[in-house]
Amino acid sequence: METALAPLLIAIVAAAAAACLCVLLRPLLVRYALARPNARSSHRVPTPQGGGIAVLAGAFLALGLAVLLVPMPAPERNGLLLVASAATLLAMVGAWDDIRPLPASTRLALQAACVGLVLFYASPELRLFPELMPLAIERALALLAGVWFVNLVNFIDGIDWITIAGIVPLTAALALAGLYGALDPASALLAAALCGGLLGFAPFNKPVARLFLGDVGSLPIGLLTAYLLYRLAGTGALTAALILPLYSIADATITLLRRLARREKVWEAHRSHFYQQATVNGFSVREVVAQVALLNLGLVVLAALSIRVSGLPAQLGCLGVAILLTAILLRRFSRRRLGLG
- 13-17, 152-156, 169-173: least confident range: 152-156
Chain length of the chain: 341
Asked if residues 198 and 128 have their Cβ atoms less than 8 Å apart, the reply is no
- Note the pLDDT of residue 75: 87
> Does pLDDT of 108 surpass 90?
yes
Percent of the chain exceeding pLDDT 70 equals 96
Mean pLDDT of 321-327: 98
Task: Express each pLDDT in 1-47 by its tens digit.
Answer: 556 688 899 999 999 999 999 999 999 999 988 887 765 666 678 89
- Note the pLDDT of residue 3: 63
Distance in angstroms (rounded) separating the CA atoms of residues 11 and 193: 5
Residues 6+ apart with CB under 8 A from 124: none
- Note the pLDDT of residue 22: 97
Task: Express each pLDDT in 270-284 by its tens digit.
Answer: 788 999 999 999 999
- Note the pLDDT of residue 271: 83
- 115-124, 163-172, 233-242, 287-296: least confident range: 115-124
Q: Could you tell me the pTM of the whole model?
A: 0.95
Q: Higher confidence at residue 47 or residue 100?
A: 47
Mean pLDDT of 229-242: 96
CA 8 to chain centre: 20
- Note the pLDDT of residue 12: 96
Asked if residues 205 and 55 have their Cβ atoms less than 8 Å apart, the reply is no
> Does pLDDT of 120 surpass 90?
no
- Note the pLDDT of residue 38: 65
CA atoms within 13 A on the CB side of 265: 5
Average confidence score pLDDT of the chain:
92
First to last CA, the chain: 58
- Note the pLDDT of residue 195: 98
Ramachandran angles phi, psi of 35, nearest 5°:
-90, 115
- Note the pLDDT of residue 118: 92
- Note the pLDDT of residue 218: 96
Task: Express each pLDDT in 75-99 by its tens digit.
Answer: 888 999 999 999 999 999 999 887 7
C-alpha radius of gyration, the chain, whole number: 19
Distance in angstroms (rounded) separating the CA atoms of residues 325 and 239: 16
> Does pLDDT of 132 surpass 80?
yes
Asked if residues 216 and 151 have their Cβ atoms less than 8 Å apart, the reply is no
- Note the pLDDT of residue 1: 56
